[in-house]
Amino acid sequence: MKLATIAIDGPAASGKSTIGELLARHLDYLYFDTGVMYRAVTWAALARGIPIEDEAAVTELAEQLCIDVVPPTVDDERQYTVLADGADVTWAIRTPEVNAGVSPVSAYPGVRRALVAQQRRVAMGGPVVMVGRDIGTIVLPNADFKLYLDASVEERARRRWREVRARGEEADYEPILISVRRRDEIDSSRDASPLCVADDAIVLDTTAMGIEKVLVQVGRLIEEQE
C-alpha cells in the first residue's frame, strides 16, 4: 500500500529537511517544510507594518492569510513554491529580517492553530513528505509513516557551522552551538505544540551517519511499512 503521508520531525539541524527533500524527490511526492508557513506569516507582518511583538495582530493575520505550498513553478533551484494570498514569496521569506522574526511568531499558540489547519489542507492534496517539529504529534497524528530524526547537539551545531562556511560566510562554532541549544530549549518547552517524539514514531539517530546512509536506512524503514 502506498503511503500517502510521511511525517518527519526532529530538532534543528537533525537532517530532517535534507532527508525530507531527497525522499520526496525519490518518491515523487510533494516536499513540504512546514516552517515556510511561519516564515510567510512573518514576512506578511513585516510587509504590512505589523509589529512582530503584537501577538494578537500577528495571530489575526495568520488566520486570514492563505498560504499554499506547491511543486516548484520556477526553475531557480527552489525546493517548492510558497504562495501567500497568491503572491510568490518563496525567496522573500528567506531574508535576514524574516529570520530574526520567525521564532517568536512560530511560538504564538494562535498562529500555530491557524497554520496547522492550513498544513492539513495541503496534506490532503496528495502524497506528501511533511517536515517540521510537531507533524507526527499535532499536524498529522494519523500519518502513514512517522520518523523522528535526531543527533547530538554538538553534531547539529557542526552541521550548521559547515553550512554557513559553505556559503562563504565567516562563522564561529561556539556561538552556533549556543544558538542550537537555545532553539532546542524553546522548541521543547513552549506551551503550544512542543517538540517531542510521537508514540508511534521511529527514532533514528543520525549523529554518526552521512546523508546517503540515512536516506538508505529511511528507505528501508518505509519499505517495511508498505
Global pTM? 0.87
Tell me which of 43-57, 61-75, 126-140, 176-190 is least confident. Answer: 176-190
Go through the domains of the chain in sequence order and give each one's CATH number: 5-219 (3.40.50.300)
pLDDT 10s digits, 178-224:
989 988 888 888 777 888 999 999 999 999 999 999 999 999 999 99
Give 128's strand partners.
5, 30
So what's the pLDDT on residue 1?
56
HSE-up (13 A, CA, CB side) for residue 109: 4
- Asked if the model's pLDDT at residue 173 lies above 60, the reply is yes
Between 9-13, 58-62, 131-135, 187-191, the lowest mean confidence (pLDDT) is in 187-191
Helix (H) or strand (E) holding 33, with range, is strand 30-33
Distance CA 68, CA 44 (A): 14
58, 102 Cβ separation under 8 angstroms: no
Q: What is the DSSP letter of 145?
A: E
pLDDT tens track for 74-132: 999 888 999 999 999 999 998 889 988 988 898 899 999 999 999 999 999 889 999 99
Mean pLDDT of the chain: 92
DSSP 8-21: EE-STTSSHHHHHH
Buried b (16+ CB within 10 A) or exposed e, 79-103: bbbbbbeeeebbebbeeeebeebbe
Q: Is 113 left (phi over 0), alpha (psi -120 to 50) or beta?
A: alpha
The percent helix, strand, coil of the chain (3-state, each to 5) is 50, 15, 35
Mean pLDDT is lowest, of 5-14, 52-61, 99-108, 213-222, for 99-108
Q: Which pLDDT score is estimated for 206?
A: 94
